[in-house]
């Protein structure tokens, strides 16, 4: 007999030899089911942590499953000699950046340039990184970013399973996952919403800037599912693969945004903002969250890194909207840098994808735990007991 473990819901099951086609409890596909290793049991035979104990084990598995697409390098930085950047122009983008990869790389270098100051003399404290996202109290100001399309990379895992892994893994850590939208999602078939409906609405769907009517239908479903917020990645209007697959996307005017904001009772998010002018226009339309992002460098080649543009956007609209930042954030040290530049919360893209592919919900939980632990260490060493204490004072002038 072989014992199997569902990485999405942690159900165990046995078969003679062959891998189960699906999880008996949650229906997850075989790509998310793995043999249950003996060493993960304690002396009485109780499964303690599942087959993975470390994030490194999860990444090793992701590296194998994403062969030829992403090598889960310890330093994921968009360099042109990396597997993800080797694809020819016009081919699917995989996990890389658009064109030369300069925008992807700029995210990483703009964060790496920042240096943290230690503040070691003072009262002892246990850092409290808890964060309020509207009515939801989160244990960290870190969320899984909106991503989609993973089922098309080597059939790494089912699309709904991928969404559920990010939602569950984040929830188990007191964090929150945003979910994405892509060319094979349609108005009628949206894996992100299917997953959110089955997970009690615990997540934030971000839709591509589809037609107003299609968006309204999707937003209505998000509202019914009980999601705490929703929104649109405005930079998705550049997606040619959406167009090619009969899923047209559009630039949105202030009037369009106002109509969407008025249509829903949920706080509305505009993702993909890189200038104070766009941020101001969104706030004028009633948008509550400005998600500063260059889409992980995947939409327009040769943009600055997010850490470069963030302070000016915070200066312009920080008083009137919640600001998130994403792009190149790999550790809690990167998180604290984005917070010091004025972000209220930080989103994680590629590392959550790799964690979900390598270890399902459990992998995502381990990824978020690693981020929380390094953030707490950074808070302690920079003298910040809670998030309100994190300001640009902890950065050296660059
Ligand atoms: C494979 C992949 C798919 C993505 N899909 C979406 C999406 O559907 N919607 C969206 O708003 N952003 C999408 N993004 C962008 C992420 O939300 C995020 O902005 C970016 O990945 C952050 O950079 P990082 O990967 O360096 O952390 C995607 C990114 C990747 C790598």
Which pLDDT score is estimated for 78? 87
270, 287 Cβ separation under 8 angstroms: yes
Residue 271 alpha carbon to ligand 1 centre in Å: 11
Could you tell me the pLDDT band of residue 254, with boundaries at 50, 70 and 90? very high
Does residue 39 have a pLDDT over 60? Answer: no
Helix axes 254-263, 276-284, angle to 10 degrees: 50
Q: How confident is the model at residue 87 (pLDDT cuts 50, 70, 90)?
A: low
**Range 53-57 contact pairs with CB under 8 angstroms and sequence separation of 24 or more:** 54/366, 55/355, 55/363, 55/366, 55/367, 55/370, 57/358, 57/359
Say whether pLDDT at 86 is over 80: no
Question: For residue range 94-152, what is the model confidence (pLDDT) as tens digits?
Answer: 899 998 899 999 999 999 999 999 999 999 999 999 999 999 999 999 999 999 999 99
Ligand 1 atom nearest 328 alpha carbon: 26
Distance 332 CA to ligand 1 centre (A): 19
Crossing angle for the helix pair 350-381 and 55-65, nearest 10 degrees?
Answer: 160
Contact 194, 222 (CB under 8 A): no
Q: What is the pLDDT at residue 282?
A: 98
Residue 222, C-beta contacts closer than 8 angstroms, at least 6 positions apart: 193, 196, 201, 205, 230, 264, 266
Residue 147 CB less than 6 A away from ligand 1 = yes
Ligand 1 centre and the CA of 19: distance in Å?
31
Residue 169 near residue 203, CB atoms below 8 Å: no
146 lines ligand 1 (CB under 6 A): yes
Going along the chain from its start, the domains and CATH numbers come out as 1-51 (2.20.28), 131-394 (3.20.20.70)
Cα 317 to middle of ligand 1, angstroms:
23
Is ligand 1 within 6 A of the CB of residue 350? yes
- Residue 14 pLDDT: 93
What pLDDT does residue 53 have? 78
Nearest CA to ligand 1 atom 5: 147
- Measure 147 CA to ligand 1 centroid, in angstroms: 5
Tell the residue nearest (CA) to atom 27 of ligand 1: 349
pLDDT (tens digit per residue) in 184-220:
999 999 999 999 999 999 999 999 999 999 999 999 9
pLDDT-based confidence at residue 83 (cuts at 50, 70, 90)? confident
State whether the beta carbon of 149 lies less than 6 angstroms from ligand 1: yes
20/14 Cα distance (integer angstroms) = 8
Q: Which pLDDT value is given to residue 162?
A: 98
Neighbouring CB atoms inside 10 A of 198's CB total 15
∠ CA 384-386-389 to the nearest 5 degrees?
55
Best residue among 349, 356, 368, 371 to mutate for probing ligand 1's pocket (most ligand atoms within 8 Å of CB) is 349
Give the 3-state secondary structure of residue 84: helix
Answer whether 95's CB lies under 8 Å from 350's CB.
yes
* pLDDT tens-digit series, residues 22-36: 999 999 999 999 988
| Whether residue 391 has pLDDT greater than 60 | yes
Å from CA of 146 to ligand 1 middle: 6
Closest Cα to atom 21, ligand 1: which residue?
349
- Confidence at residue 88, expressed as pLDDT on a 0 to 100 scale: 56
pLDDT tens-digit map of 43-76: 665 555 567 778 999 999 999 999 989 999 888 9
With a 6 Å cutoff on the Cβ, whether 208 touches ligand 1 is: no
Per-residue pLDDT reduced to its tens digit, 268-302: 999 999 999 999 999 999 999 999 999 999 999 99
């Amino acid at each position: 007999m072989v014992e199997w473990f569902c990485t999405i819901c942690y159900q165990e099951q046995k078969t003679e030899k062959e891998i189960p086609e699906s999880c008996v409890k949650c229906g997850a596909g075989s790509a998310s089911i793995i043999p249950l290793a003996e060493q993960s049991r304690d002396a009485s035979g109780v499964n303690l942590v599942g087959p993975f104990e470390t994030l490194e084990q999860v990444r090793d598995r992701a590296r194998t499953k994403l062969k030829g697409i992403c090598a889960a390098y310890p330093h994921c930085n968009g360099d042109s000699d990396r597997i993800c950047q080797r694809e020819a122009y016009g081919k699917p983008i995989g996990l890389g950046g658009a064109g030369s990869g300069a925008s992807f790389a700029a995210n990483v270098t703009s964060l790496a340039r920042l240096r943290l100051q230690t503040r070691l003399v003072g009262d002892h404290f246990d850092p409290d990184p808890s964060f309020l996202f509207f009515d939801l109290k989160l244990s960290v100001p870190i969320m899984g970013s909106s991503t989609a399309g993973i089922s098309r990379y080597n059939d790494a895992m089912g699309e709904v399973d991928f969404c559920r892994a990010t939602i569950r893994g984040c929830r188990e850590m007191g964090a929150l996952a945003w979910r994405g939208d892509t060319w094979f999602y349609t108005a009628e078939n949206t894996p992100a919403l299917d997953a959110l409906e089955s997970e009690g609405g615990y997540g934030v769907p971000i839709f591509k800037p589809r037609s107003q009517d299609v968006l309204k239908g999707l937003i209505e479903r998000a509202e019914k599912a009980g999601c705490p917020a929703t929104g649109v990645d405005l930079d998705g209007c550049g997606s040619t693969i959406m167009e090619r697959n009969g899923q047209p996307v559009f630039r949105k005017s202030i009037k369009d945004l106002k109509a969407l904001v008025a249509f829903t009772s949920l706080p509305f998010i505009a993702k993909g903002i890189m200038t104070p002018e766009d941020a101001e226009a969104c706030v004028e339309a009633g948008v509550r969250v400005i998600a500063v992002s260059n889409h992980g460098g995947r939409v327009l080649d040769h943009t600055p890194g997010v850490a470069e543009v963030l302070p000016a956007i915070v200066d312009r609209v920080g008083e009137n909207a919640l600001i998130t930042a994403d792009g190149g954030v790999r550790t809690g040290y990167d998180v604290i840098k984005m917070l010091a530049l004025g972000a209220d919360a930080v989103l994680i893209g590629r590392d959550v994808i790799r964690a979900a592919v390598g270890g399902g919900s459990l992998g995502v939980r381990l990824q978020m735990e690693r981020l929380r632990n390094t953030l707490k260490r950074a808070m302690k060493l920079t003298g910040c007991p809670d998030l309100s204490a994190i300001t640009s004072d902890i950065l050296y002038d660059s």
